[in-house]
Structure 1
Amino acid sequence: MARLIVTNIQRFCTHDGPGVRTTVFLKGCPLRCVWCHNPETQSARPEIFYFKQRCIGCGACEAVCTEGAHRFTETEGHVFLAARCRGCGVCAAACPAGALEAVGREMEAEAVLAEAEKDRAFYGEEGGLTVSGGEPMFQVEGCLQLLELARRAGLSTAVETCGQFAPALAARLAGAADLLLWDLKDTDPVRHKAYTGVSGARILENLRRADEAGARIRLRCIMVQGVNIEDAHLRAIADICTGLRGCEGVELLAYHAYGSSKLKQLGRSGGGRKDWIPSTEQMRAVAARLRELGCNVVGA
């Protein structure tokens, strides 16, 4: 049985596919989006969240850490040196105040499915299991095994993917999930490279391959004020959407700055900006424009 590195299993989700769903977040992603909402899923290895406001300065973490990732000084108090951390979780287990939290636990695919099965009564005809991340195909064999188990159990399956994976996997993914929630970060290759670390060419290639393999697809497009809210981008989204046989529409995601606080808790810098958050009026205008261009806008 394949094992998965899971950051979170979130229940009663209503924005990760149709109906009520259980969403499983897997670790590991090939992109480094500046605006990433879940930076704890980027690295494939386990990590530690440090919640500074909870720390009581007891020194328990420093006493048990063999890597020197925790130190206490008179001027700075508790300093978490994330670069030294190997994510073993011993410090989190020793912390009496809950200031440290292990992020990333190994689970067998069957155990993950068992968690999703707990809420079967709430799924109805549309709900089910969504596998997200990170990039689920970063843990390809475990992800596909989980999807197969869920399908055998009669659960609806969806995968949220950034699309950056080996082209040969596109058809396998298309055949394994009932719905692909395909993130389309940007349609300008230069901008895509600047804000995610890759040009986006493979993402579009894999999108076409998945469509040709018969996938049911919903495009998920993040809107970032001052970055990609422009008519050229919207027209490109519409061209992609209407050019796919299996695309049921576009779902718009407004950028938010929650990921920046998570980066601090991971001991990392960076993140997006608060002035990137689009207004409600902007999001309505984007939805209206996409409808003008022939797109079905989902949930707006």
Structure 2
Amino acid sequence: MRFCIHDGPGIRTIVFLKGCPLNCWWCHNPEGISPRPEMFVRPGRCIGCGRCMQVCSVGLDRSRCTFCGECVRACHTGAREIVGQTMTVAQVMEQIEKDIIFYDESGGGVTFSGGEPLMQPEFLEAVLKACKTMEIHTAVETSGYAKPETIKRIAQYVDLFLYDIKSMDDEKHKEATGVSNKLILSNIRDLSEWHPNVEIRFPVIPGVNDDIENVKALADLASSLKVKGVHLLRYHNAGTEKYGSLDKTYFLTDLQPPTDEKMAEIRSVFGDANVKVLNGGNEYYEQKSGAA
């Protein structure tokens, strides 16, 4: 994704890597969870012509899909798309290099997102190295759920870590994401000791992690770490239609974004802990797609 301005400094290119060990209830990039390619269907574009059915050898059965792409090519309205593709380092760099002029003018660069980019450490490291040889600023968005040695291995090529923390309560974290937060918290304590540029990102999800007890616990953690500050990411439900396109169920259909009053309350908690809020707290989770 090109010309982004919310995932690190300046104008940025976002490289999405498929695969994530978490399965967050509110995930706005469900196409990034599975490490495999997936069929993405937009019902609103379908005109019922039947061309896709005519060319599909498995009768459009998702469970048997081979991702040959015949149905995609047969669809004249763009209702069908395969999300996720295999690319080489050279192919990724070819896309990145198209925007170098914008990085130079804006102080921007490349941000690796997902999914969880640390699930593809060898590939991520190779692309990061290629970026650094060209003096391109690099950022990695991560859940922090990775082996400590993986983080240390790639960190030398990363200028900025955008580090998500969802919940300080381990049981609530397991319920909402499917994994414990112990490794995540251990990794950020370690990373912030020796990496100079770590910023915490806190997605504010009403009824899930916006209680003041959790916010205060996160503020206390952030104040004890050598991090630059915290980004408050305001929940939004704009990406929920992706779930239907992937034949998945979104369970927070009635959830509304947090109010301005709630966001102001959360900002004040971080302020009381002398933790810098790096944005206004009014930004929504970006609706992104394009995982590779």
TM-score (ref. length: structure 2): 0.91
1:144-223 → structure 2 map (5 Å cutoff): 144-223=125-204
In structure 2, the partner of 1:137 is: 118
1:38 to 29, 43, 49: 29
Compute the displacement of 1:208 (Å).
2.1
Paired amino acid for 2:8:
G
In 1, Cα distance between the equivalents of 2:251 and 2:97? 35
Verify the 8 A CA contact 2:118 2:151 in the aligned structure 1: no
In 1, Cα distance between the equivalents of 2:64 and 2:84? 17
Where in structure 2 are there 5+ consecutive unaligned residues? 281-292
2:238 to 258, 261, 273: 258
In 1, Cα distance between the equivalents of 2:240 and 2:62? 16
TM-score (ref. length: structure 1): 0.88
User: Greater share of strand residues, 1 or 2?
Assistant: 1
Verify the 8 A CA contact 2:160 2:197 in the aligned structure 1: yes
Give the CA RMSD over aligned residues. Answer: 1.6
Verify the 8 A CA contact 1:182 1:218 in the aligned structure 2: yes
Please tell me whether residue 295 in structure 1 is matched to residue 286 in structure 2: no
Paired amino acid for 1:26:
L
Please tell me whether residue 66 in structure 1 is matched to residue 27 in structure 2: no
Compute the displacement of 1:276 (Å).
4.1
Compute the displacement of 1:125 (Å).
5.5
Q: Deviations over 1:106-133 (max 9, x none)?
A: 1112221221221222223631000000
Compute the displacement of 1:204 (Å).
1.1
Please tell me whether residue 17 in structure 1 is matched to residue 8 in structure 2: yes
Q: Deviations over 1:214-256 (max 9, x none)?
A: 25200000001122112211112112212222x1000010111
Verify the 8 A CA contact 1:161 1:182 in the aligned structure 2: yes
In 1, Cα distance between the equivalents of 2:270 and 2:27? 24
Verify the 8 A CA contact 1:222 1:253 in the aligned structure 2: yes
